[in-house]
Amino acid sequence: MRRSVSILLALLLLVPAVPRAAAQDDHAATSAALDAALQQHAASTAADRQEVLRVLDRQEVKSVADHMGVDLRSAKTAIATLDEGELAQVAAQARQVDQALAGGASTVVISTTTIIIALLVLILIIVAVN
């Protein structure tokens, strides 16, 4: 009787552990999937940095920066130091600037100038805080 109770108790303790172990195997990501996710993240971050740098190289942005007295070399250097969240904010601003200036417009309207100034100020604030 005592042996039967011991066996029953051992089975009751082991049975709940078996489904948990199987469920853990179902949720494990393969190393290839992890590598692909990391490569996609790195490519996205690199694309954001390139977008910001490309917008900072536009003549219209250079003109506004010169008028404001902002050193674009410092701003470009600061782009490399931005963390993921800061870079996402700056890249979103850069895309707005790029869209506003798209189409070969040779003049900068007030709203575009405001967006460019906001981009430059955001970069300067992030650099100052860091």
Domain ranges of the chain: 2-129
pLDDT at 1: 56
Query: pTM higher than 0.75 for the full model?
Result: no
Report the C-alpha dihedral over residues 127, 113, 73, 80, rounded to 10 degrees.
50
- Residue 8 CA to residue 65 CA, distance in Å, equals 78
pLDDT at 50: 93
* Residue from 63, 97, 90 nearest 76 by CA: 90
pLDDT at 5: 46
* Residue from 124, 99, 121 nearest 111 by CA: 99
pLDDT at 25: 53
Segments in the chain below pLDDT 50:
5, 8-9, 11, 22
